[in-house]
Amino acid sequence: MKTLLVRLSSMGDLIHTLPAVSDLARHRPDIELHWLCEAAFADIARLHPFVAKVYPMRWRQWRKRLFQAAVRQEMAALYRNLRYEAYGQVLDSQSLLKSAVFARFAGVPVMGLDKNSARERLAACFYGRTFAVEKGRNAVWRNRRLFAQAFGYQESGRADFGIAVPEMGRLPEKPPAYFVALHATSRDSKLWALHYWLAFLQQLYDTYRLPVLLPWGSIEERQRAEKIAGQLPFVQVCPKLDLLQAADVLQHARAVIGVDTGLLHLADAADVPLVGIYTDSDPDKTGVQPSERARNLGGIGQMPEPAQVWQALGEVLANG
């Protein structure tokens, strides 16, 4: 059955949906899954081989220019394309008013969370079938539980993100072995101190003699990466990467160390040893999925010392 999944944003939200897609592939291989999401995160949906088609949309841009003819034409084209697909069912796993509205574009009854489970209670009014999923649990668990109820199976076992970087997204020029340091994040209060990075990365190189790659996403982030690389000759600043290339770089790393950023969750999905460093957010809410190969350190108003990060890295490398 042809099915539309609506999960528009953000990067972390899409990544946390991937294990539910893996469950669906295992239990309901009869389903042809399409995914509607923000264009900026469409490559996350493309990482899962069970996703047959991705429909990108641009609500973040459209909402600023709703009364312009070009925007209305783009929205109308999306409406026509989704109607043309003749979906048998639609699942809105985001449970926001905006996602519920776009889910209705498909023209068939929509499934989603009930009013007591949804992030925005009014979204449930747009659904033909609703499901109760306990709040207070992590996003991966909640998505897997929603999918299981919606598609009629029992989820079980370890979360499997199931990502596979397509050939077009692979970066050909990578060192044979390396670490990745995710130094950039959405606000300065979530950064790890520069002198901590310098001390930690020097110890990392002295121990393993492997280069360290620094991805970046903005001019400011590139400048910070270049500042680190200027003091540590074994550090390499990555070229500008799209999400598929970033996934390829992360997937082949010896380990990843990083602050609270979407790429840290992508590294978690890539199943590599990693340590998350939190200084102004709660890792219980926004951290990676804790496991033998993944650790979260710090918290709101807490900045882990390099020695703590070093110890955690040793533990995940031993288990990874």
What pLDDT score does 168 carry?
83
**Exposure on the CB side of residue 60, measured as CA atoms within 13 A:** 9
Q: How confident is the model at residue 285 (pLDDT cuts 50, 70, 90)?
A: confident
Count other Cβ atoms within 10 Å, centred on residue 238. 17
Contacting residues for 256 by C-beta, under 8 A, at least 6 apart? 179, 180, 181, 182, 250, 264, 267, 272, 273, 274, 275
The predicted-structure confidence for 184-204, as pLDDT tens digits, reads as follows 998 999 999 999 999 999 999
What pLDDT score does 132 carry?
98
Residue 238's nearest CA partner among 186, 177, 171 is 171
For the ranges 107-116, 258-267, 286-295, which has the lowest average pLDDT?
286-295
**DSSP symbols for 82-121:** HHHH--SEEEE-S-SHHHHHHHGGG-S-EEEE-TTTSSSG
What percentage of the chain exceeds 70 in pLDDT? 100
* Domain residue spans of the chain: 2-151, 168-319
Q: CA-CA distance, 95 to 139, in Å (whole number)?
A: 13
Is the separation of the CB atoms in 112 and 124 below 8 Å? yes
Is the separation of the CB atoms in 297 and 277 below 8 Å? yes
Q: What 3-state DSSP class applies to 218?
A: coil
Ranges assigned E (strand) in the chain: 2-6, 32-38, 51-57, 89-92, 110-113, 129-131, 179-182, 212-214, 235-237, 256-259, 274-278, 294-298
Q: CA-CA distance, 88 to 111, in Å (whole number)?
A: 11
Q: How confident is the model at residue 315 (pLDDT cuts 50, 70, 90)?
A: very high
**DSSP symbols for 159-201:** --------GGG--S---SS-EEEE---SSGGGPPPHHHHHHHH
State which H helix or E strand residue 42 sits in.
helix 42-46
Specify the DSSP class assigned to residue 261: S
Q: How confident is the model at residue 290 (pLDDT cuts 50, 70, 90)?
A: confident
User: Are 2-151 and 168-319 in the same CATH fold?
Assistant: yes
Domain 2-151 carries which CATH code?
3.40.50.2000
Q: What 3-state DSSP class applies to 36?
A: strand
Paired strand residues for 113:
131
What pLDDT score does 186 carry?
85
3-state percent helix, strand, coil for the chain, nearest multiple of 5? 45, 20, 40
The predicted-structure confidence for 143-187, as pLDDT tens digits, reads as follows 999 999 999 999 999 999 999 998 888 888 899 999 999 999 989
Residue 192's nearest CA partner among 201, 183, 200 is 183
User: What pTM does this model have?
Assistant: 0.92
The superfamily (CATH) of domain 168-319 is: Glycogen Phosphorylase B; (3.40.50.2000)
